[in-house]
Structure 1
C-alpha cells in the first residue's frame, strides 16, 4: 500500500500560543512529530499547515510541508486538502492523520495504527490503551472507545464517549486520536455533515460510525503525551532530553 503521513498544524492554540513552534531541545515541536513519523518508516511525511511560519520552520528542519486553507474546522478537512494537492493522481491508498502536538509519540505506535487496515472491511484505523488509573475512567477529557474484541489486541469500535463505558466488569479503553484512513474513507468522511452524536459528545469520529463506516482500534501499551499546556511542554522537554521518546 502507498502510505502518506500528514501532520495538520496551525497557530491557533489558545492554551499554548504558538504551540507547533515551541522549542524542545533546540527544535520546534512540530519537527519532533515529523521526526517520529519519518523514523516509523511507514511512508512519506508532510506537515499540512495554513501558516507560512510553520512551513518555513518545518522545511528548515529538513521535512516537507504543504500550505492549506485557513477555513478548515478540523484536521481531517485539512489533510484531505493536502492529500488532493500532493497526490492528484490518486496513487496514495492510505492516509495517516498524526496530530502535531505528539512530540514523544513512539514510532511503533505509528506503525501499529496501520495494522487494522490489513482487514479489507475496515475503513478507518486508530489506537486504544487499557485504562489503569481509576480517575481516568470517570474523566470526561479521557475519551473511551467501546468496542468488541476482534482477535488478540484489536477492537471493533462500536462507540466513542466521554462517559464511563461500558458498564460492568472488564477493561475500559482510552482512545488515542491517531487515525489511518483508506483514501476513499477520508473522502467520504469529509463529505459528511457533523452528526447528531458527534455534536453531542464533541467527538468527530462518531460522524463516521453514524454513517455506517467501520473503525477498528489496535490496542497499544501507552498513551502518548499530548502537549496542550505549559506543563505538558515541560514534560515533553524532559522526556526528549532523557531519550524516552523512542
Structure 2
C-alpha cells in the first residue's frame, strides 16, 4: 500500500495572514510541519502543495519537495486532490501546514485505521478540557458515535451541556485527514454544501454526502496555529 503525505499550504490565511511563514523558535511554521512529517519515516513521499512562491521557495531551498497549485481552491482537500489525482497512491494523508507539532504516534494511528476496508476517510481529535477553548469558535469541535464515527463538526459547543449533572467529554477536531484516493477525488466532484459554507469546515462536505469520518483520539499533537495567540502558546510549548 503506497502512502503519501501532502501538506496544503495557503499563504493568505484569513484569520492570520502569512501565518505559515511566521517564525517559531527560529524556523517557519511550514518548515516545522514539513520536517516533522518527513521525520516520521511513515511515507513514501511528503509534498507541500501551495499557491505561494514564497512558501514554495521556503521548502525547496531547504531541501524539501513542494509543488505550485491553483490559487482558487475552496479547501485544503481540493488543493491536495489537484496533486494526488496524477499520483499512483492508495492512501493520502493531509497534514495541515499549521500543525508544527505533528508526530509519528498520531500519524501511525490514522494510517492503521485503513486496515478496516469500510473506512473511506479518517481524522484526528484530542480532548478539550479548558472552558475557554471549548467555547472558542476557532476550535472546531466534533461529536462522535460509539464506533468513533463523526456525527457533526461545529465551531459551536457540541454537545450542548443541557444536562449539568453528567460529565461531558469535548473533542477538538485536529486538521489532519486521511483518505483513500477515490474518496478524495469524489470530494472534489461534489458541490460545496450548506453546512460547510455556514461553518467554514471542509469535512462537513463528507457528512452532508453520507460519508462519516473515522475519528482517532490522540494526545500531545500540540498547538495548531490559527491566531497570533496560538503562535505564542506554541513558542512557550517548545521552551518547556
TM-score by length of 2: 0.88
Check 1:165–1:14 CA distance in 2 against 1; reply closer, same or farther (3 A cut).
closer
Aligned-residue offset at 1:26: 3.4
Partners of 2:193 and 2:69 lie apart in 1 by 25
Distance 1:233 1:197 in 2: 29
Structure 1 CA distance for aligned equivalents of residues 14 and 196 of structure 2:
23
Q: Give the number of equivalent residue pairs.
A: 234
- Asked whether the 8 Å contact 2:141–2:156 carries over to 1, the reply is yes
Contact 1:115 1:218 survives alignment (8 Å): no
Query: Which segments of 5 or more consecutive residues in structure 1 lack a partner in the other structure?
Result: none
Q: 1:171 to 1:2 in 2, by over 3 A?
A: same
Candidates 118, 127, 130, aligned match of 1:133: 130
Q: Deviations over 1:67-110 (max 9, x none)?
A: 1111212111110111134x1xxx20011111111112233222
Mapped to 1, the partners of 2:129 and 2:210 lie a distance apart of: 31
Structure 2 unmatched runs, 5+: none
Partner of 1:123: 120
Distance 1:15 1:163, change over 3 A: closer
Q: Secondary structure at the match of 2:145?
A: strand
Superposed, which structure 2 residues align to 1:52-131 within 5 Å? 52-85=53-86, 87=87, 91-131=88-128
Distance 1:24 1:200, change over 3 A: closer
Equivalent residue for 1:221? Answer: 219
Match of 1:181 in 2: 179
- The equivalent position to 1:157 in structure 2, one of 144, 147, 150, is 150
Shift of residue 13, structure 1, vs aligned partner: 2.4
Secondary structure at the counterpart of residue 66 of structure 1: strand
Query: Is the Cα–Cα contact under 8 Å of residues 138 and 226 in structure 2 kept in the other structure?
Result: no
Do the aligned partners of 2:128 and 2:171 also contact (CA within 8 Å) in 1?
yes
Query: C-alpha deviations, 1:106-161, integer Å up to 9, x for none?
Result: 332222222322211111100111222233333333222111123xxxx1112212
Structure 1 residues 160, 231: closer, same or farther in 2, change over 3 A?
closer
Give the TM-score normalised by the residue count of structure 1.
0.86
- Summarize the Cα distance change of 1:80–1:237 in structure 2 as closer, same or farther, 3 Å threshold: same
SS in 2 for 1:203: coil
Post-superposition shift, 1:219? 0.7
Whether 2:29 is the aligned partner of 1:24: answer no
Q: Please report the RMSD computed on the Cα atoms of aligned residues, expressed in angstroms.
A: 2.0
